[in-house]
Structure 1
Amino acid sequence: MRDYSFPRRLILLALVASTACTDGGKKTPGVPESASADTLAPFPCTHFEDLRRFLPETLEGLTRAGDGGSTGRYGDVSVSEAERSFTHGEEREVKVRIVDTTLGKKLGQAIRAAAEEGRDRAQNDPTAPIFWKDKEAVGFVRYDASTGQAEASLLVGNRYVVAVSSRGYPGTVEVRRVARDIDLEGLARLDRAPGGADHQ
C-alpha cells in the first residue's frame, strides 16, 4: 500500500499552523503590537469566511455538528482554513476542510505526485486517485478498512486544498460523493485576496 505520510505531513503542518492563527485574522502572531496595519504586507490567503461559502450546508442522513475557521500568520507561513463536521450519533462522521496557505506549492506537488502514482489503479479500487478536469481538481484517496476511516485530499484550481474525511462508511464512496458535490469549479475561480501574492 502506498505510503501517504509525505503529503499528510505537509497537510498537517498547514493545519497545525492554522491553529495558532486568530479567528478572523484580527491579529497577526509575531507582529509587534505597535506595528500599524499599513506597515503589514497584504495578506496572501483568502479569508476563511470566503472559503466557508464552499462548505456543504447539509449532508443527507447527518446532523451538522460544528464549524471552525481561522485566518492568520504563523511565522513565515500564512494560512486560512474553514471546516464543517457532520455526524450521525457515534456511528458516522464526515468532515470537510478547505485550506489556503503559502505552503500551497509544496502541498500541491505532494497531492499531484500521490495522484499520479495511483493513476493506473482500476476505477473500482477504493484508493483510485481523483482526476476531475471539469472541476479543476486532482487528488488522492486513502481508506483504512480496520478503522472504517476514509480521506480524500484534493488540489483545486492549483491552489486550494480540500480534505474530506469520513468514519463509519464502507470504502471511499462517501468522501468521493461529498467532494464531488462541492462547488469546486467556483472555488477554483475564487479571487485571491486583494493585493495578495501568487504563492503557487
Structure 2
Amino acid sequence: MVLCYILGCSGCGSSNETKEDDSASASLGGTLNAVQEMAKQAEETQQNGPVETVDFRKLKDMLPADAAGLTRKSANGEKNGMGGFTFSTATGEYENEDNSQNIDLAIVDTGGSGAMMGMAAWSMIEMDKETESGYEKTTKIGDNKAFEKYDNANKSGEVAVLVKNRYIITVKGRGVEMAKIKSVLDDVDLEKLGAMK
C-alpha cells in the first residue's frame, strides 16, 4: 500500500470494476518499469563516476538575445555541486513590453548524473493525456526525447527536451501559444549543445 501511495495509484486496494483494475495495473506496470530503468541508469552512473559539467558561461552563450520575438530581460548562470556531482545551469527571462507574454528558458548540464532522472523523469515513460483545458504528453523533437504540456485556459505551458542523456532544455511560457513556446527551441542549437564537453 505504501508503494501505491508513493506512485499515486488511486485504484490500489480497491475491488471496483475489472476494467478499472486492469487500467490501474497497466499504469502501475508502466511506472514500475520506469522506476527500474531509473535505478539501472543510476547504478551505471555510479559505476562510471561523475562527469565534469561544462562551464555555465558556455551555456549562457547559447541563450538567444530574443526568444520567439520576446526580448531577453535577464541572463544568469551558475554551477552547483551535490553528492559528488555538479550541475551547470543557464537561464534567460524573456517578455514583451507590457509583460503580458513571458518565456523562461533554462539549459542544464547534469553531467549525465543519476539526479538527471529526477529532473527529466518523463524521459523514462510514455504519456499522452488530454483534458478539456489542455494536454500533456511525451514526444520526440528530432532524435531527442521530449515532454510538453499546455493549458488553453491560462495560455501557459512548457516543453522540455533531453539531449544526449545529459542536457535538459526547458521552455516555459505564460500568455503565449504552444507554437510560440516550442519555437524557442529553434533559437537554441541543440546539435552544438550535444557536442559540448
TM-score w.r.t. structure 1 length? 0.61
- 1:131 and 2:155 aligned: no
Q: Residues 140-171 of structure 1: CA distance to partner in whole angstroms, max 9, x if unpaired?
A: 1011233321111110122100000111013x
SS state of the match for residue 49, structure 1? helix
Structure 1: distance between partners of 2:63 and 2:144:
16
Q: Which has the larger radius of gyration?
A: 2
SS state of the match for residue 58, structure 2? helix
Q: Residues 128-150 of structure 1: CA distance to partner in whole angstroms, max 9, x if unpaired?
A: 543133xx421110112333211
5+ unaligned residues in a row in structure 1: which ranges?
7-40, 192-200
- In the alignment, which of 122, 127, 137 is matched to residue 117 of structure 1? 127
5+ unaligned residues in a row in structure 2: which ranges?
1-7, 9-30, 32-48
- 1:162 and 2:169 aligned: yes
Alignment-mate amino acid for residue 185 of structure 1: E
- In the alignment, which of 53, 56, 59 is matched to residue 51 of structure 1? 59
Distance 1:44 1:131, change over 3 A: same
Identity %: 26
Compare relative contact order (CA 8 Å, sep 6+) and give the higher one, 1 or 2. 1
Structure 2: distance between partners of 1:75 and 1:104:
10
- In the alignment, which of 176, 180, 187 is matched to residue 181 of structure 1? 187
- 1:142 and 2:136 aligned: no
Structure 2: distance between partners of 1:104 and 1:50:
21
Distance 1:79 1:94, change over 3 A: same
TM-score w.r.t. structure 2 length? 0.62
Distance 1:163 1:99, change over 3 A: same
Larger strand fraction of residues = 2
Q: Residues 104 and 160 of structure 1 are in contact (CA less than 8 Å); yes or no, is this contact kept in structure 2?
A: no
How much has 1:56 moved relative to structure 2?
A: 1.5
Q: Residues 18-71 of structure 1: CA distance to partner in whole angstroms, max 9, x if unpaired?
A: xxxxxxxxxxxxxxxxxxxxxxx9872111111122221223532211011101
SS state of the match for residue 84, structure 1? strand
- 1:80 and 2:88 aligned: yes
Q: Residues 135 and 150 of structure 2 are in contact (CA less than 8 Å); yes or no, is this contact kept in structure 1?
A: yes
Structure 1: distance between partners of 2:68 and 2:50:
40
Q: Residues 63 and 91 of structure 2 are in contact (CA less than 8 Å); yes or no, is this contact kept in structure 1?
A: yes
Q: Residues 111 and 155 of structure 1 are in contact (CA less than 8 Å); yes or no, is this contact kept in structure 2?
A: no
Give the length in aligned residue pairs. 145
How much has 1:98 moved relative to structure 2?
A: 0.5
Structure 2: distance between partners of 1:158 and 1:56:
23
- 1:68 and 2:79 aligned: no
How much has 1:173 moved relative to structure 2?
A: 1.0
Alignment-mate amino acid for residue 113 of structure 1: M
